[in-house]
């Protein structure tokens, strides 16, 4: 089963929790044992598994990437001033694969799935969810 989740973002750089939407796709698929792949369709966005309890962790991720990859010093900035967004997305990566165990996401208590926006805000960001049987 494949489904596209569409979200909007309200900041240039932020992590958005999409765990509930992905869990709904898994539930809808009726797959009891398998995998779900979550893929960000965009060259300036990514997917990350991260702590869900303390939002400061998500802000720390954004702050770390800002320190490692600052804005405005890259060759691609001549075209559209978002080279740092491309680099951040490339380092984090476009997808995560999560096991499905007894029909549920195989995440630990403190893990959630986050869409990483590095070039927002955007009215529409697509995330491709693919559910496969084991």
Q: What is the pLDDT of residues 13-34, one digit of tens each?
A: 999 999 999 999 999 999 999 9
Prediction pTM value: 0.96
Please name which of 115, 74, 69 lies closest in space to residue 94, comparing C-alpha atoms. Answer: 115
Q: Where are the domains of the chain?
A: 2-133
Tokens of 10: 């309200």
In this prediction, residue 34 carries a pLDDT of 98
Model confidence at 58, pLDDT cuts 50, 70, 90, reads very high
In this prediction, residue 79 carries a pLDDT of 92
Please name which of 15, 17, 39 lies closest in space to residue 118, comparing C-alpha atoms. Answer: 15
Mean per-residue pLDDT, 94-103: 98
Give the architecture (CATH level 2) of 2-133: Sandwich (2.60)
Residues 62-77 have pLDDT tens digits of: 999 999 999 999 999 9
Let me know: does 34 contact 129? Beta carbons within 8 Å: no
Count the helix, strand and coil residues of the chain and give each as a percent rounded to the nearest 5: 30, 40, 30
% of residues, the chain, pLDDT over 70: 100
Let me know: does 127 contact 113? Beta carbons within 8 Å: no
Beta bridge partners of 97: 37
Residues 6+ apart with CB under 8 A from 10: 120, 121
Q: What is the DSSP letter of 32?
A: S
d(CA 69, CA 72): 9
| Average pLDDT of the chain to the nearest whole number | 97
In this prediction, residue 95 carries a pLDDT of 98
């Amino acid at each position: 089963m494949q489904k596209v989740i569409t979200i909007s973002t309200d900041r240039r750089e932020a992590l958005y929790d999409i765990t509930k939407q992905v869990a709904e796709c898994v539930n809808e698929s009726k797959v009891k044992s398998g995998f779900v792949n979550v893929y960000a369709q965009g060259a300036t966005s990514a997917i990350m598994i991260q702590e869900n309890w303390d939002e400061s962790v998500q802000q720390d991720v954004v702050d770390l990437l800002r320190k490692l990859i600052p804005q405005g010093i890259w060759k691609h900035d001549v075209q559209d001033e978002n080279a740092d967004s491309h680099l951040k997305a490339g380092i984090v990566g476009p997808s995560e694969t999560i096991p499905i165990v007894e029909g549920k996401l195989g995440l630990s208590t403190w893990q959630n799935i986050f869409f990483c926006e590095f070039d927002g805000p955007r009215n529409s960001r697509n995330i491709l969810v693919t559910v496969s049987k084991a």
